[in-house]
């Protein structure tokens, strides 16, 4: 049991947090005027091993308007900005191959006019053995542009708790490793003592 606990502790210290697959994380929703902002949009395939080809379209609906405008189209390797309001400001920051799962775009020099609803659409063709399958995935981001960045209390508290948890876990792992080391060392000492006693008894038996 002790050795198994030590093994788990060592693995916890050595394991890399980078070993992860596709995860559909929601985009941030608050940008600061005059700065850049990453509009996130992720659509993971249910089966990673299936090859696919995907194109991505972005549409934008300003506040107090009813219609979406087609502002961006990406078909690897070509990125087309389709609306003059975003000309020279919209850059592709998603997957750079035909099998797109991350459809993020980056808005440079955000303005208050960029506030509104953004719709990200994946047009995906899955190349299956029997027949190709076409899938359409839509996601929306409601963007608010602020004059200055603000940090909510919940965000600050969450960040503090995260660091506290990391420190506590690291201390726990150190304690476990020290305990394991001492336990193994004690077992080693006990074996050496038994070995010495056995050799001593053998010497006594050999004395005429």
* Total tally of structural domains belonging to the chain: 2
146: three-class secondary structure by DSSP: strand
- In a shared domain, residues 52 and 111: yes
- pTM equals 0.63
- In a shared domain, residues 35 and 123: yes
Inside any domain, residue 10: no
- In a shared domain, residues 52 and 125: yes
Each residue's pLDDT tens digit, 142-155 = 999 999 876 655 56
Inside any domain, residue 37: yes
Inside any domain, residue 195: yes
Tokens for 16, please give them. 């890399």
Closest by alpha carbon to 54, among 76, 81, 23? 76
Among candidate residues 149, 175, 192, the one where a domain is terminated: 149
pLDDT more than 70, % of the chain: 83
* Domain range for 116: 20-149
Each residue's pLDDT tens digit, 50-99 = 999 999 999 999 998 999 999 999 999 999 999 999 999 999 999 999 99
- In a shared domain, residues 131 and 170: no
Among candidate residues 128, 149, 170, the one where a domain is terminated: 149
Q: Quick one: pLDDT at residue 104?
A: 96
Q: In Å, how far are 21, 43, 61, 132, 160 from 17, measured between CA atoms?
A: 11, 21, 37, 35, 20
Band of pLDDT at residue 21, cut at 50, 70 and 90: low
- In a shared domain, residues 143 and 193: no
- In a shared domain, residues 47 and 71: yes
């Amino acid at each position: 049991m002790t050795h198994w606990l030590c093994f788990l502790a060592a693995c916890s210290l050595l394991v890399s947090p980078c070993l992860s697959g596709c995860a559909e994380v929601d985009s941030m929703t608050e940008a600061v005027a005059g700065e850049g902002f990453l509009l996130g949009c992720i659509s993971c395939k249910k089966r990673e091993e299936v090859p696919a080809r995907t194109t991505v379209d972005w549409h934008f609906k300003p506040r107090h308007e009813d219609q979406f405008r087609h502002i961006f189209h990406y078909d690897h390797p070509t990125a087309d900005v389709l609306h003059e309001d975003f000309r020279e400001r919209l850059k592709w920051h998603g997957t750079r191959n035909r099998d797109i799962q991350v459809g993020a775009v980056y808005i440079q020099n955000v303005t208050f006019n960029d506030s509104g609803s953004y719709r990200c659409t994946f047009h995906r063709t899955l190349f299956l053995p029997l027949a190709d399958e076409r899938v359409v995935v839509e996601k929306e981001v409601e963007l608010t542009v602020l004059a200055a960045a603000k940090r909510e209390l919940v965000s600050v508290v969450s960040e503090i708790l995260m660091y506290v948890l990391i420190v506590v876990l690291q201390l726990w792992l150190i304690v476990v490793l020290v305990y394991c080391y001492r336990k193994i060392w004690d077992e080693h000492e006990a074996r050496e003592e038994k070995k010495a006693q056995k050799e001593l008894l053998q010497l006594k038996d050999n004395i005429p």
